[in-house]
Amino acid sequence: MADAPPTLEIITVDSPRAAVLRRRAQPVRAVTREIQQLIDQMFDAMHEAHGIGLAAPQVGIGRRVIVIEFQKSRHALVDPEILRQEGEEIAPEACLSIPGWVGDVPRALKVVVRARNRRGRYVTINADSMLARILQHEIDHLDGILFPERIRDRATYHHVDDAPSEVAAQEPPQS
């Protein structure tokens, strides 16, 4: 076995490579071994950053791949599409690519998402509330959209100082 590849760096908006965050990512179509390896590396990078979701452009790869780990359920989704959405809920969001900033974002309360999984099989996810929010945030990344663009009430967008880890759970989840 070869050595494990190094953890992927998360691209932030002030990075020299930030342009990838604003570009529409390309469809994957065939879930190859390279894509499976990308998925595994994205899970590693997300865990290291204590995130709950991550999109491939956030690690500098302009392909339509997202990973999510929320309440013990793991999702690796390739070419995800929102088939239906319903309702609205406004809640705080943060982003691993925009460290320290939070703001209230309106999102559909429920979504139905179709995608392929790590094995290339089609899956349909019926999600509401927080999981629906994470899915919308990550799929936005694939279209080059960052959460501040979705904020309706600009007064809610603010910077928070680094908090000790014991209160991290009270901060908005980062993805």
Q: Which residues bind Zn ion (CB under 5 A)?
A: 95, 175
β-partners of residue 123 are: 115
Is residue 138 part of the annotated active site? The answer reads yes
- The CA distance from 60 to 47, in Å, is 17
- Considering the complex, state which of residue 121 and residue 175 has its C-beta at the smaller distance from Zn ion: 175
**∠ CA 57-117-173, rounded to 5°:** 50
Number of residue whose CB is nearest Zn ion: 95
User: Strand, coil or helix: what is 72?
Assistant: coil
**Shortest CB 146 distance to Zn ion, Å:** 7
Nearer Cβ to Zn ion (14/166) = 14
**81, 115 contact by CB (below 8 A):** yes
Question: Between residues 2 and 8, which has the closer beta carbon with respect to Zn ion?
Answer: 8
Catalytic residue (one of 9, 138, 149, 171): 138
3-class SS of residue 44? helix
For residue 99, give the H/E element and its range: strand 98-107
Active-site annotation, residues: 138
